[in-house]
Amino acid sequence: MDQNLVTDRLLLRPYIESDFEAFVKMHSDPILKANTHGKAMNRLQARDLFDGYKDAFAKDNFGMMNIRSLEDDADIGECGLWFRKDAGGYTLRYTVLKDHWAQGYSLEAVDAVLENAFKVHDLKHMQAIAMNHNVRSIKVLERAGFVQTGNSFRDIHGFMRFVLTQSHWQKRNE
């Protein structure tokens, strides 16, 4: 089964080992991490996350994916699903590198992941979390059909919780 997702401008594919250096750079960027309430990662922390993404994808046949430009194979970021027990299921994640902000890549990647999750993997719902100051991310989630369900996550205020059900997604995309 082909695990790649293709849009008009993007290729989303499972991470491969040659992506690791770019992955470290992305996850060590304090500006990108400030939008996730996370801290910039060192190489060892990035390695653990990278291996976790690869292992989860191998187990579930979906998960976090590297976003590439179809035009020039540039690394654009990542998008996919991550199972979180503390969130009660699969959570949508995405990060677009600063050089590619404000070009519509986040929503394009999110739409591809949602279609795959609901049509191919028959997920019934998924969640997303965004920091309340990350207006761009909140707009992406809302445009994708997510509905806000809360204002905190893990008792940390400043997070906005969102959910999208398969039935709501289907109605929205009819």
The pLDDT tens digits for 94-104 are 999 999 999 99
Q: What is the pLDDT of residue 33?
A: 67
Give φ, ψ of 152 to 5 degrees. Answer: -155, 160
Q: pLDDT tens digits, residue range 23-35?
A: 999 998 877 766 6
Q: What is the pLDDT of residue 154?
A: 65
Q: What is the pTM of this model?
A: 0.92
Q: Please, what is the average pLDDT of the chain?
A: 90
Q: Is the pLDDT of residue 160 over 80?
A: yes
Per-residue burial over 55-90, b if 16 or more Cβ lie within 10 Å, else e, is ebbeeeebbbbbbbeeeeeebbbbbbbeeeeebeeb
Q: What is the pLDDT of residue 37?
A: 57
Among residues of the chain, what percentage have pLDDT more than 90?
71
Q: What is the pLDDT of residue 157?
A: 72
Q: Write down all domains in the chain, each with its CATH number in brackets.
A: 5-172 (3.40.630.30)
Ranking 11-20, 37-46, 111-120, 129-138 by mean pLDDT, the lowest is: 37-46
d(CA 101, CA 99) in angstroms, rounded, equals 6
Per this entry, what is the length of the chain?
A: 174
d(CA 24, CA 50) in angstroms, rounded, equals 9
Q: pLDDT tens digits, residue range 39-92?
A: 788 999 999 999 999 999 999 888 999 999 999 999 999 999 998 877 778 999
Which residues does 69 contact at the CB level (< 8 Å), separation at least 6?
9, 10, 11, 76
Q: What is the pLDDT of residue 7?
A: 97
CA nearest neighbour of 62 among 83, 84, 85, 87? 83
